[in-house]
Amino acid sequence: MELSETPIPIWYVGQHLPTPAETLVEQTVNAAVANNYDFVTTYLTNENLQTRIKDIISKAAAAGDDHPDVESLSADEVRIFPGSYTTQIIAYTSPWIELDSEDPLVAEVSKSVLLHEIAYASYCGITRLVVLGPSRPQNASQFSEVLNSALAISPFMQLLVQLPIVEEDYDPKQATESALKNQLSSWDTWNTIRTVCSYNHNVTIALQISTRLPPAHVLSRWFTEPVRLLHISSAVFVLNAKGYPVLSQDHQTKLLSKYMKIQPTPYIVLADTLNSLCVPSPSASRALASGSPRRDDPLSFISYIRHLQKNQPPLDVFEKVGQGYQDYLQSPLQPLADNLESLTYEVFERDPVKYDQYEEAIRLALLDRDPDTPLAVAVVGAGRGPLVQRALNAEASSGRKIVMYAIEKNPNAFVTLQKRNKESWGGRVTLVKTDMRVWSPPTPIDILISELLGSFGDNELSPECLDGAQRVLNKNGGITIPQSYTAHFTPIMAPKIHAELKLRKEPDAQETPYVVLLHAVDILAQDQYIHNAWEFSHPLQKTDFSGNGHNVRRSKATFKIPYRGVVHGIAGYFESVLYGNVELSTRPDTMPTKSADMTSWFPIYFPLKTPLYVPDSSEMDVTFWRETDQRKVWYEWLAEAYLRLDNDQRIRLGLSELHSSKQNGCLM
C-alpha cells in the first residue's frame, strides 16, 4: 500500500464579512470566490432591526408588557435577498439577541427575532445559519428550549451554534487539576444544547478557535462532536519571521489536520482578515523592528490555508481502508449460521497482516515438532483457502512435511476450494464439505487451524465451534491455532453513533452490538484504560460437551474517569495468541506492537439505550455477561456511574438498564 497516494483533501473555506453597511450582493460573493474563497459568511440583518427591537423592548418595559408583538423583518432591516448566490452564503443571526437573558421581556423578544430570522433565511434559500451560543452557561437550558422550537420552522435549516473551543483562555503553566476540568465548560454548554434538542441532526457547532489551544482532552472531546464550522480569526495567526501570517504547529497538527477529518468535513471561516489582528512572533518582531514589512494583507490568510490544504500529512492505513466506514454501523457477521459471499471473503483476504501472522504462527508450530514425522494439519472453516495456502507456505519455509486437510461447511466457498486444489495445490489437500463439529478425519490432527474470530473475539462462536472440533485432535500433543483469545472493553463517548441509533425504529436497535470503525469517539477512562474481560483457550481438558455452560463468562471492571463526559456505549476489542508470541490485536494500544496495521477487524460497539452523564472524577462500573442457552449465544451489559469524593467515598449517580442482545443472539 502506497501511503503517498493521498489525494489533496477538499476544504471549503469562507470569508467572514462582519458588518458592511451595505446589502450583500452577487458581486460580493464573486469577489470572494475570485480571491480563492468558496463562500462568504455574514449577518442576516442590519442595525435598523436592532433599533426597532430596542424600541419595542423599552416601550414594552415601560408598559409592563412581557410579550409585545414583534413584526417580521422588513426590507430595510435585512442584508441578504433571495438570489442564486445565497447557496454560497452561511448567514449569522443578529449577534445582539439574547435568548438566555434573565429578563423575560428580552428573552421573549429575542426568541421572536430568532424565529423571524430563521423563517426569512429559509425563504432566501439559505440552509445554514450560525446562532451565537448562550452567554450565560447556567441558562443553557433556556437557550436550548428556544433553539429546539426554532428547529420546527424548517426541516432543511441547519443551525450552527457558535461556541468557543474553551470558555477561558488556557494557560498550560497554570494547569491545575481544577483548571484542566474547567476547560470543558464550553463543551458542557454544548452538551446541554444537544441533549435538550434530542441529538437533532440539524443542530451542529460553529467552533471558535482560540489563540492558545486547550489541552488534549478538550481537543479530543470536540473531535467527537458535530463541528461543522471552524471560525478562525486572524488573531489566531502569528506573523513569522518573513512577515507572513501562519498558524502554530499545534494549530496545524492538533487542530486543523485532525478536525478536518470530522465527517462531514467542517467549513473553515476566516474572520478579521481585512484588518489583521495577527500578532508578530518574537523573531517577526525583531525583523519588523529592523524594517522588514508585514505581509498579513487580506489575501495572505486564504493563501496560507490553501497551502496547508495541499500539504496535509498522508493518510494512514486505517484512514485509507476505512474511507466511508468511519462510525458506520454494521451488524456482526454470523459465519456459522449464514453462508458468506465471495466478496466478503475477498475483503478479508485483502489484509495481508492477519495472514502473515498466521503463516508465522504455523511455521513456528511446525518447527517445534519432530522433523521426521509428517504432521496432520487441518484448516477448519477454510473459506476460499487463504489459510490453506499459508499453511503450505509454512511447510515449505520450515522444511517440515504435512498432510493437509481443509474443512468448510459453506458449499459455495467449497467450490473455490476445489478449484484451487486442482489448479494451485496439485490436488494434495483433502477437502471435506462438512460442519467441523461432526467431521471425522482418518487420522488424528496435530495442528487444527481456524479463524472464527469476531470483533469481540468469541462473538462469532469460535468457542462453540472449536469445542465441537477438538475431538479430532491428536490426544498426544495436538494443538489449535489460535491457542487462545480474549475480549476487551472500555466505555466511550460516541455522540455521532448515538444520534444515528436514536433515529432507528427497530425496538432492539439499542440492544445489538455493532461492528464499527470507531472514529468520532472519545475513550473516557483514565490513561485510555481498556479492560481484559475473559479468555477462551483450546483445547479444553474436557470431553463431555453436551451443555454449553462452560462457555458462559462474566466480567466486571471499574473505569476511573478523570474528566466529565457522556458515556454512550462500550467499545469492544480482542486479542488472540495464535502460537507462542505471535499474536493478533485490535486494541488501539497493543495493535501497533502485536499486529500493526491489521485492518481485518473493526471494533465492536455495545450501545447504551440512555447515555449516562459522568462528572469529573467519576467512576464507571461496567459488567459484561456472555450468556448461552441450547440454541444461542448472546451478551448482556450494564453500566453504573459513581462519583469518587475527596474522602474516597463512592456515591452512586446512575445505573443503566440491563441490555441484552438475546433477540439478536448468534445461533449455534
Ligand X SMILES: C[S@@+](CC[C@H](N)C(=O)[O-])C[C@H]1O[C@@H](n2cnc3c(N)ncnc32)[C@H](O)[C@@H]1O
118 in contact with ligand X (CB under 6 A): no
- Looking at residues 88 to 127 of the shown chain, list those that interact with its own copies (rule: CB under 8 A): 104, 107-108, 112
Report the partner that residue 209 touches, choosing among its own copies, ligand X, none (CB closer than 5 to 8 A by kind): none
User: Of the listed 225, 460, 619, 627, which one is catalytic?
Assistant: 460
Closer residue to its own copies in complex, CB, 356/621: 621
Given 125, 562, 588, 615, the residue binding its own copies (CB under 8 A): 615
| 354 in a labelled binding site | yes
336 in contact with ligand X (CB under 6 A): yes
What is the distance between the alpha carbons of residues 147 and 111, in angstroms, rounded to a whole number? 9
Given the rule CB under 6 A, which of 109-117, 198-206, 333-341, 515-523 is the region that contacts ligand X? Answer: 333-341
CA atoms within 13 Å, Cβ hemisphere of 430? 14
612 in contact with its own copies (CB under 8 A): yes
Angle between helices 352-367 and 386-398 (to 10 degrees): 40
8 A C-beta contact, residue 365 and residue 482:
no
Closer residue to its own copies in complex, CB, 318/545: 545
Residue 254 is given by DSSP the state I
Query: What backbone torsions phi and psi does residue 252 show, to the nearest 5 degrees?
Result: -70, -50
595 in contact with its own copies (CB under 8 A): no
Q: Counting beta carbons within 10 angstroms of the beta carbon of residue 177, is it exposed (0 to 12), middle (13 to 18) or buried (19 or more)?
A: exposed
Closer residue to its own copies in complex, CB, 34/152: 152
Q: How many other CB atoms are there within 10 angstroms of residue 558's CB atom?
A: 15
**Min separation Cβ 410 and ligand X, Å:** 4
**Min separation Cβ 175 and its own copies, Å:** 19
What is the distance between the alpha carbons of residues 594 and 589, in angstroms, rounded to a whole number? 10
Query: What residues are paired with 633 via a beta bridge?
Result: 628, 666
413 in contact with ligand X (CB under 6 A): yes
Given the rule CB under 8 A, which of 126-134, 154-162, 359-367, 615-623 is the region that contacts its own copies? Answer: 615-623
Is 451 a known active-site residue? yes
661 in contact with its own copies (CB under 8 A): no
188 in contact with its own copies (CB under 8 A): yes
Closest CA to 453 of 488, 421, 423, 478: 488
| 242 in a labelled binding site | no
356 in contact with its own copies (CB under 8 A): no
Report the partner that residue 188 touches, choosing among ligand X, its own copies, none (CB closer than 5 to 8 A by kind): its own copies
Report the partner that residue 381 touches, choosing among its own copies, ligand X, none (CB closer than 5 to 8 A by kind): ligand X
8 A C-beta contact, residue 427 and residue 456:
no
**Min separation Cβ 497 and its own copies, Å:** 18
User: Of the listed 225, 359, 451, 575, which one is catalytic?
Assistant: 451
Given 6, 50, 122, 141, the residue binding its own copies (CB under 8 A): 141
**Min separation Cβ 627 and ligand X, Å:** 20
66 in contact with its own copies (CB under 8 A): yes
What is the distance between the alpha carbons of residues 175 and 563, in angstroms, rounded to a whole number? 14
Cell numbers 511446525: residue: 366
184 in contact with ligand X (CB under 6 A): no
Closest CA to 575 of 598, 547, 558: 598
Given 627, 635, 665, 668, the residue binding its own copies (CB under 8 A): 627
8 A C-beta contact, residue 224 and residue 187:
no
What is the distance between the alpha carbons of residues 195 and 5, in angstroms, rounded to a whole number? 41
| 579 in a labelled binding site | no
Three-state SS letters, 269-329:
EEECCCCCCCEECHHHHHHHHCCCCCCCCHHHHHHHHHHHHHCCCCCCHHHHHCCCCECCC
- Looking at residues 361 to 380 of the shown chain, list those that interact with ligand X (rule: CB under 6 A): 380
Given 81, 96, 325, 348, the residue binding ligand X (CB under 6 A): 348
What is the distance between the alpha carbons of residues 290 and 210, in angstroms, rounded to a whole number? 30
Q: Counting beta carbons within 10 angstroms of the beta carbon of residue 476, is it exposed (0 to 12), middle (13 to 18) or buried (19 or more)?
A: exposed
**Min separation Cβ 383 and ligand X, Å:** 3
640 in contact with its own copies (CB under 8 A): yes
Using CB under 6 A as the criterion, what x/- string covers residues 428-467 for binding ligand X?
-------xxx-------------xx------------x--
Residue 454 is given by DSSP the state B
What per-residue string of b and e applies to 379-400 under the rule 16 or more CB within 10 Å gives b?
A: bbbbbbbbbbbbbbbbbeebeb
**Min separation Cβ 117 and its own copies, Å:** 17
What is the distance between the alpha carbons of residues 518 and 195, in angstroms, rounded to a whole number? 22
383 in contact with ligand X (CB under 6 A): yes
381 in contact with ligand X (CB under 6 A): yes
Count of residues that bind its own copies according to CB under 8 A: 53
**Min separation Cβ 67 and its own copies, Å:** 4
Report the partner that residue 580 touches, choosing among ligand X, its own copies, none (CB closer than 5 to 8 A by kind): none
| 408 in a labelled binding site | yes
Going from the C-alpha of 394 to that of each of 41, 375, 399, 418, 482, the distances in angstroms are 62, 12, 8, 21, 16
Helices (H) and strands (E) in the chain, counts: 19, 29
Given 47, 145, 356, 535, the residue binding its own copies (CB under 8 A): 145
8 A C-beta contact, residue 310 and residue 502:
no
Q: Please give the grid coordinates belonging to residue 458.
A: 468469541
Is 460 a known active-site residue? yes
Residues at the contact surface with its own copies, assessed by CB under 8 A: 65-69, 104, 107-108, 112, 141-142, 144-145, 148-149, 188, 191-192, 195-198, 542, 546-547, 549-550, 552, 554, 556, 564, 610, 612-613, 615-616, 621, 623, 625, 627, 636, 638, 640, 643, 645, 651-658
Residues at the contact surface with ligand X, assessed by CB under 6 A: 335-336, 340, 345, 348-349, 380-383, 386-387, 407-410, 413, 435-437, 451-452, 465
Residues annotated as part of the active site: 451, 460
Q: From the annotation, which residues make up the binding site for S-adenosyl-L-methionine?
A: 345, 354-355, 408, 435-436
